[in-house]
Amino acid sequence: MDSASRYLRMETPDKADHLWRYTPWKKVHPTGDLSEIPTLGQPEISLSLIDGSKAPNGIELKRGGSGEPDFSMSSALTNSFLHASAKDSQWTLVVDRGFSPGKPVILDVKASGFPSVAHISLEIGKMAEFELITRVTGNSEWFGLLRTGQIQDGAVVNDVVIGLLERGTMLRSDRIEICRDAQVRAGTVSSGSDRTKSDLRYIMGETGGNIRVLGSILSTESMHLDHHIEIHHEAPETFSRLSWHSACGGSSRTIGTGMLTIRKGSKGADAAQIFHNLLLSESAEADSIPELEVMENDVVGCGHGTANGPIDEEQMFYLKTRGFDEEGAKNSLIAAFLNSTLSEMGGGELHEWLVSELTLQLEALNS
């Protein structure tokens, strides 16, 4: 059955569905007509190094996909819809075995002027070692991003997606397989779009997989940013950490839901998650729901937690005594809070680039 037929046969999810509890599918669908798979445009996509130079040999962005993706352990509704609507907008990012460019790679996605969608399949070769930034910009009223694929044996990859749409809705769905002894840092930086719905799923089906999932989320005005993360431990000696930081201002709302699953037979698995929310106004709202599903007795450790709080007035006072004005002190504390996860997303050059992007977003709040 193809993706379009699969989607059209599905029932509309209700609030009992963990994924759609806080953001109904009707509010995310590009037209609101749930029986429709509309014709959507294609964004502009380009590949370069972080300094703007041409991407080197060993990494290539090709038009076209690799057939019907594996949607097990993912949202069949979201992925089927995105795959069907992106039938003419598919790319494959091919990374050669042992690829190591020395500089971060930027995959620029520009979604401007009209609703658009893209499906990017990742084929990251064994022992590759590099940093990838997927940057989404533009003023499209609706944009959908489906990412599927595999990070192969022994690869070391920092994979950061930064969403900077100026308005509208962004629907994102990831289903990434982490293979034997691969080490992955999966970062999400979100500070754009009026509404974001993300469904991020990572599957560790082979021994030795290691992943850190990191979020730095900044919501303002009336934004509604909903991120759902699942990490599936399907093999022995796998490791995961989920650390998610959200700063919420205005009348905005952020939601972070995390599910760590350790299947029977995944001996020695080690999994934990933590959500931190910084409330910048009385009308801002942050919801965090960490969950664990452990079906194996022989595990190293499993833990979860969440914490909400306002800006520390003592820290504000301290900064003011050092010459900061009200907005400068507040922005410094927001930046420090978000930087605690931002700093783990990559090396020095990547971190410096991410900090500069965050600074621009904080400056825009006061403009």
pLDDT more than 90, % of the chain: 70
What pLDDT does 272 receive? 93
Residue-range domain boundaries for the chain: 3-365
The alpha carbon of residue 328 and the mean position of all alpha carbons in its chain are separated, in whole angstroms, by 28
Q: What is the mean pLDDT of residues 97-114?
A: 95
Q: What is the mean pLDDT of residues 268-275?
A: 94
What pLDDT does 363 receive? 75
- Half-sphere exposure of residue 183, counting CA atoms within 13 Å on the CB side? 9
Q: Which of 66, 143, 131 is nearest to 95 (CA)?
A: 131
Helix spans in the chain (H): 3-8, 25-28, 76-85, 313-321, 326-342, 348-365
73 confidence band (pLDDT: 50, 70, 90): confident
Measured at the CA of 82, the angle between CA 173 and CA 4, to 5 degrees, comes to: 140
Whether residue 283 is predicted with pLDDT greater than 90 in this model: the reply is: yes
Residues 6+ apart with CB under 8 A from 201: 73, 74, 75, 174, 175, 176, 229, 230, 231, 232
For 321-366, what is each residue's pLDDT tens digit? 777 777 778 888 888 999 999 999 999 999 999 998 888 877 776 5
For 23-41, what is each residue's pLDDT tens digit? 999 999 999 999 999 989 9
Q: Which of 235, 245, 237, 258 is nearest to 187 (CA)?
A: 245
Whether residue 279 is predicted with pLDDT greater than 80 in this model: the reply is: yes
For 150-177, what is each residue's pLDDT tens digit? 999 999 999 999 999 999 999 999 999 9
Whether residue 66 is predicted with pLDDT greater than 70 in this model: the reply is: no
Taking only Cα atoms into account, the Rg of the chain, rounded to an integer number of angstroms, comes to 20
Whether residue 1 is predicted with pLDDT greater than 80 in this model: the reply is: no
The DSSP symbol for 103 reads: S
- Evaluate whether 116 touches 89 at the Cβ level (below 8 Å): yes
- Here the tokens at position 94 are 């091919």
φ/ψ of 126, rounded to 5, equals -60, 140
User: What does the chain come to in residues?
Assistant: 367
Whether residue 46 is predicted with pLDDT greater than 90 in this model: the reply is: yes
- How far apart are the C-alpha atoms of 57 and 54, rounded to whole Å? 9
For residue 53, how many other CB atoms are within 10 A of its CB?
9
71 confidence band (pLDDT: 50, 70, 90): confident
For 210-242, what is each residue's pLDDT tens digit? 999 999 999 999 999 999 999 999 999 999 999
What pLDDT does 62 receive? 95
193 CB burial (10 A radius; 0-12, 13-18, 19+): buried
What pLDDT does 243 receive? 96
146 CB burial (10 A radius; 0-12, 13-18, 19+): buried
What pLDDT does 367 receive? 56
3-state secondary structure of 341: helix
Q: What is the mean pLDDT of residues 200-215?
A: 97
What is the sign, positive or negative, of the torsion defined by CA atoms of 121, 73, 242, 167? positive
Buried b (16+ CB within 10 A) or exposed e, 310-319: ebeeeebeeb
